[in-house]
A and B are shown apart, each in its own frame.
Chain A
Amino acid sequence: MIHIFQNYWGTLLYGLGQTLLCSILALVFSLILGTLFALLEESPNKFSRGIARVYIEIFRNIPLLVITMFFYVVFPLYVIKMNGFTAGTIGLTLYTSAFIAETVRAGIQSVDSGQMEGARANGLSFWQAMRHIILPQAFRYVIPPLGNQFVNLVKNSSTLAFVGGFDLMYQGNVIASSSLETIAAYSAVGVLYLVITLPISYYMRYLEKRLA
């Protein structure tokens, strides 16, 4: 396995970079989208609650790979050309945003309802109260599950390998087929994934314990 690192360190690093880039982009966008849909679901308006519900249910119950393939196969045909990396990142963002929406919503619900009543009684509108009173408190509870979502994101970014996204998994396949050392190549890739995911999941477990 060591010689795989020695011979292919450039390829592996490039893959690692793509995996990280895709995961971080997807995290940022899905955090925005997820929070938005969580707010819509908690809003007093029935119509927006319905939209949020449908969005979340669709993307939670369809496999990530189907969503990614949709953007990779269907979109270029009828809408706009996109490379594997873009299609993969969009798929990952939409998929993860549904899970983040559920996480954020649970966070909002864990904030004592007196907070909202107090804010409203002090003359804030529903959205002002959400923005200034509820969300800041909710996010504290949400951080450990969000960290776990990021770990999932990094793992799920391996679907980029299906669409030629040049991520770590893709490079692993390239190395495995060119060096013919399947186990060593995949082990090297596994080590690199663990370098990212293990520290985050241990840190999140520590945070969970401290918050509990």
Chain B
Amino acid sequence: MLQNFIDAYSPDNLRYLFGGLGITILVSVVSIIGSFIIGSILGIIRYVKIKYFSAIVGVIIDVIRNLPLILILFFTYFGLPNLGVKPEIIPAAILAMTIFESTMLAEIVRSGIQAVDSGQMEGARANGLTYWQGLWHIVLPQAMVKMIPAIVSQFISLVKDTSLATIILLPEMLYRSQIIYGQNTNYIIPMFVAIALMYFVVCYCLSVLARYLEKRQA
């Protein structure tokens, strides 16, 4: 058994797995940045209630939020070619993750803004700020502080969800471990231990960060 572990963690295999970790992190970081920007914009649009527009955005957010991520991955990777666009695997994965996570973040942002006491906006308006100035300088900074723990835990799910992109053959950790243990069944357990550990370390660090931010805010 021990020998299996030693053989499985050969330098070549480890390099291959860590390459997968690199792709996981690449896809996660790009999607985190993208979905943070798009999600915040969508959340604000939903909060400010622009006639018709906000309602339509709201419906789109709710539809995407309530679909499985795997389905969205399929749409971007297998569906888009039917419309004449053929994305590569990594951009397709990033696109799907960004679309899905933006809608999740939009909900967090919206409820975060709603949680700010309405007196803040009234006070800002009474002091001569316009609605948008009040939103930008007074309400949003307070809302952001409240939202940060929820946002970080959403990012933890995002990192974990990158594993679903193995279904469109994104060469990340899980996919690469399958290739390694596909060659030798003795490597199955070592491979599972390795990827579980790698995911755990990345996500646990993020959850510690989330908890720290939560404590500091309280």
Question: Which residue numbers of A lie inside 8 Å of B, CB to CB?
Answer: 57-58, 60-66, 69-70, 73-74, 77, 151, 155-159, 161-162, 169, 172-173, 176, 182-183, 186, 189-190, 193-194, 197-198, 201-202
Contacts and interface: CB of A to CB of B under 8 A. Distances in A.
B74 A62 contact: no
20 contacts: A57-B204, A57-B207, A61-B204, A62-B203, A63-B160, A69-B174, A70-B196, A74-B188, A155-B67, A155-B69, A158-B68, A161-B70, A169-B68, A176-B78, A182-B78, A183-B75, A186-B78, A189-B71, A193-B66, A198-B62
Interface string B145-189: 000000000001000111110110000001000000100010011
Size band of the interface chain B makes with A: 35 or more
Given A155-B67, A155-B69, A172-B71, A63 B161 contact: yes
A8 B62 CA distance: 27
B46 to A, nearest CB: 13
Given A62-B199, A182-B78, A158 B204 contact: no
Contacts, number: 106
B22 interface: no
B192 interface: yes
A141 B78 CA distance: 42
A201 B174 CA distance: 31
B12 to A, nearest CB: 22
Most chain A Cβ neighbours within 10 Å, of B63, B68, B164, B192 = B68
B78 A65 contact: no
A153 to B, nearest CB: 11
Nearest to B59: A198
B166 A65 contact: yes
**Which 10 residue pairs spanning A and B have beta carbons closest together?**
A158-B68, A61-B203, A197-B66, A63-B160, A63-B163, A155-B68, A158-B70, A65-B163, A183-B79, A61-B200
Contacts of A64: 160, 163
Given A155-B67, A194-B66, A186 B163 contact: no
Contact of A169 (B71, B166, B195): B71
B79 A186 contact: yes
B66 to A, nearest CB: 4
Contacts of B181: 73
A169 B185 CA distance: 28
A88 to B, nearest CB: 13
A63 B199 contact: yes
Contact of B207 (A61, A65, A173, A194): A61
A105 to B, nearest CB: 13
A198 B203 CA distance: 29
Given A65-B166, A66-B174, A151-B66, 7 more contacts: A65-B164, A69-B192, A155-B66, A158-B69, A176-B74, A183-B82, A183-B83
B125 interface: no
B204 A63 contact: no
